[in-house]
Amino acid sequence: MGRSDVTSWVPEGIDLERPSAARLYDYLLGGAHNFAHDRELAERFIKAQPNAREIARHNRSFLRRSVLFMVERGVRQFLDLGSGIPTVGNVHEIAQAADPRAKVVYVDYEEVAYAHSTLMLADNPLATIVQADLTRPDDILDAPQTRELLDFDHPIGLLMAGVFHFVPPEKDPARLVARYRDAIGAGSYLAFSQFTRDLMPTEMDRIVEVMKSSRDPMYPRSHAEITALFAGFDLVEPGIVPTAKWRPDPGFDDGGDPDRAGIYAGVGRKH
């Protein structure tokens, strides 16, 4: 992408040559905040996994349903890790439509995601974004924006939707989730989704190869590995299932073929 193609929304200093997962996801969801190299990667992603756009849409729908599920159970504050580039149906829009008092802290390390979230939330005192890496929990939990907006003495909705497959094994995924779990109080919830080899192994292997050329390589996990990450949480029905099967809304979510979801999803409540 030439400099002449760069528009005013691009943050200064961004590396246009190396594609990112946040901008790839934006492209799959039909967004416009991506660059030529992101689109090239996304097309390779789609070739490896022809169901990619549907998978992205179902993951986004799971996020909406899980937030509403938590709101219905009294949760009014959310910590959204790996929130990505703002698009239709952001967490604060969903939660604040249900209750205008709902508070949301977004977290993303990607420059475009941070810049556009900052602009979008400028006039919303009950939502903010922290630019940080989710594998450094203390940077997020101790951030002034987080402590100012969230009350850790009350239940929090912890959201890890479509992001944890970017956490490598050497980062000790179980320890990371446990650090966040220990920071939130009883009655809090965890909503979690990530890619797996269990459902579409051939396509998943191809995706892993494609993403090796990005700044965000992928690490799919099995049903058992994902279940282990819910230690300290009581899984709510229907447990860990393909995204389309997690409490679909009749008439709103068409479901599709669950075996082609590519992603497992689940919600748990902290003891």
**What is residue 169's predicted lDDT score, i.e. its pLDDT?**
97
**What is residue 116's predicted lDDT score, i.e. its pLDDT?**
83
Q: For the chain, what is the radius of gyration of the CA atoms?
A: 18
pLDDT in tens, 111-137: 889 988 998 899 999 999 999 999 999
**What is residue 12's predicted lDDT score, i.e. its pLDDT?**
64
- Of 119, 134, 5, which Cα lies nearest the Cα of 81? 134
Q: In whole angstroms, what is the distance from residue 19 CA to residue 81 CA?
A: 20
**DSSP string across the chain:** --GGG--TTSPTT--TTS--HHHHHHHHTT-S---HHHHHHHHHHHHH-TTHHHHHHHHHHHHHHHHHHHHHTT--EEEEET--S--SS-HHHHHHHH-TT-EEEEE---HHHHHHHHHHTTT-TTEEEE---TT-HHHHHT-HHHHHH--TTS--EEEEES-GGGS-GGG-HHHHHHHHHHHSPTT-EEEEEEE-TTT-HHHHHHHHHHHTTSSS------HHHHHHHTTTEEEPTT-SEEGGGSS--TTT-----GGG--EEEEEEEE-
pLDDT in tens, 85-96: 877 789 999 999
Is the omega angle on the peptide bond into residue 238 within 30 degrees of 0, that is, cis? yes
Question: What residues have CB less than 8 Å from 271, skipping those under 6 apart?
Answer: 186, 232, 233, 234
Question: What residues have CB less than 8 Å from 186, skipping those under 6 apart?
Answer: 155, 270, 271
If one counts every other C-beta atom within 10 angstroms of the C-beta of residue 150, the result is 20
**What is residue 13's predicted lDDT score, i.e. its pLDDT?**
59
Q: In whole angstroms, what is the distance from residue 70 CA to residue 58 CA?
A: 18
Q: Which residue's entry shows tokens 């590995």?
A: 225
Residues in the chain predicted with pLDDT less than 50, given as ranges, are 1-6
Terminal CA-CA length for the chain = 50
Angle value at C-alpha 92, between 117 and 86, nearest 5 degrees: 35
**What is residue 7's predicted lDDT score, i.e. its pLDDT?**
52
Bridge partner residues of 107 (DSSP): 81, 130
Q: In whole angstroms, what is the distance from residue 86 CA to residue 26 CA?
A: 8
**What is residue 109's predicted lDDT score, i.e. its pLDDT?**
93
State the pTM of this model: 0.91
